[in-house]
Structure 1
């Protein structure tokens, strides 16, 4: 069997395990490969991302370069996806620079990965630069930036991009409408939000998902239009989920609707019963990049290395804020407990 054929066979085998989520089985096979190509490297990078082994993906990307194999689009997209979830901005920017240095075209997948990475890391302007560099922008590209803008509190810019998208003849999809309705909710656009919600089905033939209804309930609730919000929940064609009911409950609590607030006690009892039966929600985690190193913190885990130093540092920030923030409203002061 020739060398090229051997590489193809090994890569096909690794790809099969990776697609089944068996990265642990694929890794030793990958290590034993007599020769690795861009496809085999990208398969391993993507596989690690798919199973949540995010830290390993950028490391594999670096190893790929050291080995002398030129990264393809799939490898870069996989590594950028990991950087987005890790908040590893420095590594993500380095990959963007690599793309520019090597004259690689920002296709839809690569461009979307860059936009997603920058918005998740809070670099809105860099995300917009990546967007403007792209020659062909489809609905997924527009939606990625709209989502990033909305999630970063740039709702007005998200709406402008939504208009630009339609002017360019790009038809929004279900996910686009979730993002733009979320932006409307944050801005309190009680006229624009319902109009966009209505146009989903009337103009674009898209039947609303429960997420769309939840965004509209949140919008109406925040604006104090409780009767309209309750009516929407009662009449929505789908079974309201915890997000929809939670949005309605929070609005009623905010605006003093005691009756519905009391009804929510039943939900609290269900949560208590779940805890009694040891049904636990998977703890969330936060990641932060400091001097190029990504650190992970899991909710409720006090066994982290250097946890004592971290808490002392946070308490120092807390004390600094107390001395420097001259605001008489103590209720607004953030304290660390």
Structure 2
């Protein structure tokens, strides 16, 4: 007797057949009972069949039924039921261990998945090429680089380093743990590479802020005749936005249209974000308007796009359209909206939308929303109100929140408050050089040079180093990066000569360099000569 898996037979017929079989009105066949379990199209059916097996004690005589029942519970997503049965199985196979690990990873129970891997090793079984991808996926989700390195060692020890899927999982793990260099080493050692491994490397570069490498690697993938997919295109569009590489972004948009991915709302949203960050707001709005069935992410991206350009009222108009379209805003929506209000100096509107989050839309403000409100109040000169808001937040403020208020103190020259805030920031043991520089600039604006020197010594004592700034520009479809006084470009002499010509013209139009924060121990001529070569 044989039944097809997931049969749609009525529940009453299925259970009656189970009872008939188990009461031995027809011969008991292991294959028949396995088929009965697999034929359960609904959870209730499975539970009733399972109950009959328990009633007749067949699990004791046919242990293999435990494995089949365990797998069936996993197929319904009932991991706890499956674990109870799994613990009763004598000597479970590696296959069953792998399926349990996969289910845990799929349902975001990453610690459970890694615990299963540890128990698998303790049981004396050897993990194989089907084991490691699930363990590495869980490790990547937890961003546990140390454990990831241990798993990589196991991959080598158990002879799975040459497997294509294991290699791709290693690349993904290292990338999500923030180690793109080791991800690249693994990728370069792979004897075979497929779309998944290429995509893992490209997305790894993109999400670790290595935008130039993302685009370079995308080009290498195309040269290798590997066809890009949605994930790799999303990464490329993200990189173009970060670099402000409009021409490259336009090329990728054309490719999106050519490959028929334009209706994909996730891709359309990425295109909107790319155009906005590259300064082409009209194209961003056009793509947004042409998108079908806009979701909350797409609406939020358009709101953020106007916010990037200081067009707060346009951002509010899009938000109002979103509400009229019966799309419920989420936390990201309000972060974009409040940020737009901040960049446009819309104090009253910002306060109104902040209070409406919970009252009207049922969205509990998070740290990012309080940060936006502090910025809004700080830009409006309401430093005391911003301080009170921070001190009465329902969560502990971080250094970035205090740092936002410190920046406002610089704008409005409030030295006393700046010193109190700086003490709060330094109590958090932050190594972010920007806060020290802000405080130093506030002292410099007041000609408190001894305090400027004290802050510098404090940075040295705490081993806080200032990260060198840099700028980027796109010319002839290529992005160039340069830093302070950079002379690495082969045409640097011509570039500096042209810069001097521009400065001369700027001075004729009334440009006066702001030198109060720079090089207090240097002569004015030295200051003025150094400032134009800052990034």
**TM-score when scaled to structure 1?**
0.82
CA distance in 2, matches of 1:91, 1:128: 19
The Cα shift of 1:96 comes to 0.6
Q: Residue 20 of structure 1: SS of its match in structure 2?
A: helix
Where 2:532 maps in the other structure, the secondary structure is: coil
- State the Cα distance separating 1:20 from its structure 2 match: 2.4
User: 2:167, 2:419 → 1: CA distance?
Assistant: 58
* Partner residue, 1:144: 301
**Offset of residue 322 of structure 1:** 1.8
Structure 1 equivalent of residue 39 of structure 2: none
Where does 1:1-337 land on structure 2 (aligned, <5 Å)? 10-21=164-175, 22-30=182-190, 32-33=191-192, 37-252=194-409, 254-255=411-412, 257=414, 259-261=416-418, 263=420, 266=423, 268=439, 272-298=457-483, 300=484, 302=486, 304-306=488-490, 307-323=492-508, 325=509, 327=510, 330=512, 336=532
Deviation for aligned residue 1:184: 1.6
Larger radius of gyration: 2
Number of residue pairs the alignment of both structures matches:
323
Residues 202, 25 of structure 1: CA spacing in aligned structure 2 closer, same or farther, 3 A cutoff?
same
Q: Aligned pair in 2 of structure 1 residues 156, 297: CA closer, same or farther (>3 Å)? A: same
Return closer, same or farther for 1:66/1:234 CA change in 2, 3 Å cut-off. Answer: closer
Change (3 A) 1:205 1:292: same
Superposition RMSD on alpha carbons, in Å?
3.1
Offset at residue 231 of structure 1 (A): 2.7
Change in CA separation of 1:43 and 1:217 when aligned onto 2, cut-off 3 Å: closer
Q: Deviations over 1:278-315 (max 9, x none)?
A: 222444433221111211124x5746334554433322
- CA distance in 1 between counterparts of 2:415 and 2:223 reads 63
Measured after TM superposition, the shift of residue 121 of structure 1 is 0.9
Give unpaired runs (5+ residues) of structure 2.
Answer: 1-161, 176-181, 427-438, 440-453, 516-527
Distance 1:259 1:54, change over 3 A: closer
CA gap of 1:190–1:88, structure 2 versus 1, over 3 A, is closer
